[in-house]
Amino acid sequence: MTELVTVTDDGAVRVIRMNRPDKKNALTGAMYTAMAEAINGANTNDTIHCMVIAGVPGAFSAGNDIAEFAQAAMSGGNLVRPAMPFLYALANNKKPLVAAVQGVAVGVGVTLLLHCDQVIAANDARLTTPFISLGVLPEAASSLIAPRMLGHQRAFSLLVMGQPLSAQEAKEQGLVNLVVTPEELDAAAMKVARTIAALPPQGVAIARRLMRGSPDELIARIDEEAKLFGERLSSPEARAAFQAFMTRKK
């Protein structure tokens, strides 16, 4: 069976690839754990100077499996807990992180980009965060980072109104650095990662920490979001939204 997350080290660059193409890289608890371990492991490995997180053709990540969301909403479960080690790993990460985004990027497939230092997108990328329409809330400290990065109005459009962004629109708003064709994506992301990896690693780490600030603030917001997300998941609004989804699916 193909690994749902593959981790390969190419010189000083670690590539973390979500690899569940049949489900458009909808994330499972095991996938969250594998990615957290890959990030945490890179932080204790002096030979790794930069990481790339990538998906498969047509899909960066569809976020959490919507059917699992619906089941949790209807049964009073909590989908936040399996993701927490991954969210903490992003907040505590000390190594530069490059994203290679193509195809669909939904929910956490978008909010994780806020923790990346460079985002390379294929021109077929489409970013969507339908949290509020599903009766839940943004996560991954996105409610803190996105307004700082994009400005309140743009962050509100993305995270609250759920307005989708094309790759070019995301670039214009400052969420994406470079737009290329899908065929060029992996090579372009690796070129950026190798450029970063060739820089003095301690200097990069110090500059990155100064620019991003203390992870404690991010972790506090992640915890607050997770608590409220769990409460919202069992709310009447979420139950109604997921019931409507399951009815449409049938």
Q: Does residue 45 lie within any of the structural domains?
A: yes
The band of 243, judged by pLDDT with boundaries at 50, 70 and 90, is confident
Q: Does residue 163 lie within any of the structural domains?
A: yes
Q: pLDDT digit string (tens) for 128-184?
A: 999 999 899 999 999 999 999 999 999 999 999 999 999 999 999 999 999 999 999
Does the pLDDT of residue 249 top 70, yes or no?
no
Q: Does residue 129 lie within any of the structural domains?
A: yes
Q: pLDDT digit string (tens) for 178-201?
A: 999 999 999 999 999 999 999 999
Distance CA 158, CA 176 (A): 14
Does the pLDDT of residue 71 top 80, yes or no?
no
Task: Count structural domains, the chain.
Answer: 1
Q: Domain span at residue 30?
A: 5-182
Q: Does residue 90 lie within any of the structural domains?
A: yes
The band of 69, judged by pLDDT with boundaries at 50, 70 and 90, is low
Does the pTM exceed 0.85? yes
Residues in the chain: 250
Q: Does residue 15 lie within any of the structural domains?
A: yes
CATH classification at residue 150:
3.90.226.10
Q: Does residue 35 lie within any of the structural domains?
A: yes
Distance CA 4, CA 7 (A): 10
Q: Does residue 229 lie within any of the structural domains?
A: no
**For residues 129 and 223, is the Cβ–Cβ distance under 8 A?**
no
